[in-house]
Amino acid sequence: MSANSWTIAAARDALRAGEVTAVDLTMACLTAMDAGDGLNAFVHKTPEMALEQARAADRRLAAGDAPAMCGIPVGVKDLFAVKGVPTQAGSNILRGFRPEYESTVTTKLWEAGAVCLGKLNMDEFAMGSSNESSCYGPAVNPWKVDERRLTPGGSSGGSAAAVAADLCLAATGTDTGGSIRQPAAFCGITGIKPTYGRVSRWGVVAYASSLDQAGPMTKSVRDAAIMLGAMAGHDAKDSTSADLAVPNFEAALTGDIRGKKIGIPREYRLD
């Protein structure tokens, strides 16, 4: 199994055990990204930035300072500001825009040691559900039926396609009315729209501010818990950010759930 196909959890354990380096893991993803150009998932690649961050992650790992996301290569939806990197929100209107600031979500990920592989395709200004309105052209679902080009969903279509095709170990997405959950379902990965306020919206191009929420797109539920833990937290720059402690979401997966019930509002059902 190639390292780029690992889960975050598997890669984290291998990195901490010294079985692989962050540079090796990043190189595996960069190679996969080039081979996967036909999916049109990555629209701006940042290999120099990625290798610089990977080398820094290896130094942290060697020093025993290894947060859960340390050395993990990720893709970033083109809606998130990454300092010095083109951020167009899938639109020609923002062509050439390179932010002089960093979104809170990506700041938290880089502080946790994650590695930025580049920016991912999306519907223009997140207004779409098929990734066909992007100025970069449509992203392609890596799962094919009779060789047909299928939509990965949207607006986080590039994120979903990249994770499903093992071009990266995880990706950021945003969800206003389904833009994480729908493409995650279309591509067979895990995506979660966190509770509003759990993740800062600062530095994320807005669609509908009272509904927008950033979240992780990953290969497993455990990975989503790990990545959300790094992304979440109160942010004074976002007036809607919840001033609440971030629990250990991964540990909660193994907790005792006996006696708990899952409820579905009656109004959600047609029968």
44-66 per-position pLDDT tens digit: 999 999 999 999 999 999 999 99
pLDDT surpasses 80 at 249: yes
Does pLDDT of 271 surpass 80?
no
Mean pLDDT, rounded, for 133-140: 97
Active site residue 103: no
**5: annotated active-site residue:** no
The per-residue pLDDT for 266 is: 87
User: Active-site residue among 156, 159, 179, 241?
Assistant: 179
The whole model's pTM is what? 0.94
How confident is the model over 110-130, as pLDDT tens digits? 999 999 999 999 999 999 999
Three state DSSP letters for the chain: CCHHHCCHHHHHHHHHCCCCCHHHHHHHHHHHHHHCHHHCCEEEECHHHHHHHHHHHHHHHHCCCCCCCCCCEEEEECCECCCCCCCCCCCHHHCCCCCCCCCHHHHHHHHCCCEEEEEECCCHHHCCCCCCCCCCCCCCCCCCECCECCCCCCCCHHHHHHHHCCCCCEEEEEECCCCCHHHHHHHCCEECCCCCCCCCCCCECCCCCCCCEEEEEECCHHHHHHHHHHHCCCCCCCCCCCCCCCCCHHHHCCCCCCCCCCCCCHHHCCC
What mean pLDDT is predicted for residues 10-16?
A: 97
Q: At what angle do helices 221-231 and 104-111 cross, to 10 degrees?
A: 110
Checking if the pLDDT of 165 tops 90, the result is: yes
CATH code of residue 162 = 3.90.1300.10
What's the confidence (pLDDT) of residue 269?
80
Residue-level pLDDT at 228: 98
Q: Is the pLDDT of residue 257 over 80?
A: no
Distance in Å from the first CA to the final CA of the chain: 45
Domain that holds residue 257: 3-268
pLDDT band with cut points at 50, 70 and 90 for residue 9: very high
Give the span between the Cα atoms of 81 and 90, in whole angstroms.
Answer: 13
> Among 155, 159, 200, 241, which one carries the catalytic annotation?
155
Q: How far apart are CA 56 and CA 50, in angstroms?
A: 10
pLDDT tier for residue 260 given thresholds of 50, 70 and 90: confident
At residue 240 the predicted structure's pLDDT band, cuts being 50, 70 and 90, is: very high
Mean pLDDT of the chain: 96
The answer, yes or no, to whether residue 207 has pLDDT greater than 90, is yes
How many structural domains are present in the chain? 1
Least confident of 64-78, 139-153, 183-197, 254-268: 254-268
Beta-bridged to residue 270, according to DSSP, are none
pLDDT(147) > 90:
no
Top-confidence residue, 45 or 148? 45
Q: How confident is the model at residue 270 (pLDDT cuts 50, 70, 90)?
A: confident
Q: Is the pLDDT of residue 265 over 90?
A: no
